[in-house]
């Protein structure tokens, strides 16, 4: 995996949320996933995080999501890391607008010939 491939995969993950395509995002996850998210607990599997994502996205009518100041690097032949700042703006089905800004780390590993997210850490940026 090259740094460019890591960047494309990381941006693809966030693009899936902007497209409200949660299943596309879920398909990018390893079965043996571990996630630290904004919510106050850790997800220890793809199934746990997928359930959370489906529920979180269910009330959203439209969204915009992206990464900035993205830094990507490879770790040998079978792994890569992407770090950056994320923004997720959504409009709920009730019309309420919400914007979350945070930091993201995605760790990719190769599984059955495909690059999957094996670990992720999302932390909120402080608000004023």
Q: What six digits make up the tokens of 128?
A: 């004023």
What is the CATH class of 3-124? alpha beta
Tell me the chain's radius of gyration from C-alpha atoms. Answer: 14
Give the pLDDT mean for 70-74.
96
* pLDDT above 70 for 84: yes
* pLDDT above 80 for 91: yes
* pLDDT above 90 for 114: no
What confidence score (pLDDT) does residue 1 get?
66
Please identify which residue in the block is written with the tokens 């792994």. Answer: 79
Q: What six digits make up the tokens of 121?
A: 């850490």
What confidence score (pLDDT) does residue 128 get?
63
Give the pLDDT mean for 91-95.
96
- The helix (run of H) or strand (run of E) holding residue 42 is strand 42-43
Rounded CA-CA distance 105/112 in Å is: 22
pLDDT bracket for residue 45 (50, 70, 90): very high
In a 10 Å sphere around its CB, with 0-12 CB exposed, 13-18 middle and 19+ buried, how is residue 103 labelled?
A: middle
Give the pLDDT mean for 18-44.
94
Rounded CA-CA distance 59/127 in Å is: 24
What confidence score (pLDDT) does residue 126 get?
82
More confident residue, 121 or 126: 121
């Amino acid at each position: 995996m090259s740094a460019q491939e890591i960047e494309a995969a990381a941006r693809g993950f966030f693009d899936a949320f902007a497209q409200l395509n949660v299943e596309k995002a879920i398909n990018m996850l390893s079965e043996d996933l571990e996630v630290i998210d904004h919510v106050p607990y850790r997800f220890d599997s793809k199934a746990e995080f997928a359930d959370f994502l489906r529920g979180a996205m269910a009330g959203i009518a439209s969204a915009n999501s992206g990464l900035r100041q993205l830094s990507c690097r490879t770790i040998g032949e079978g792994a890569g890391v992407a770090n950056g700042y994320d923004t997720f703006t959504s409009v709920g089905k009730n019309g309420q607008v919400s914007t979350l800004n945070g930091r993201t780390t995605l760790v990719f590993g190769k599984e059955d010939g495909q690059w999957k997210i094996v670990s992720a850490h999302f932390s909120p940026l402080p608000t004023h």
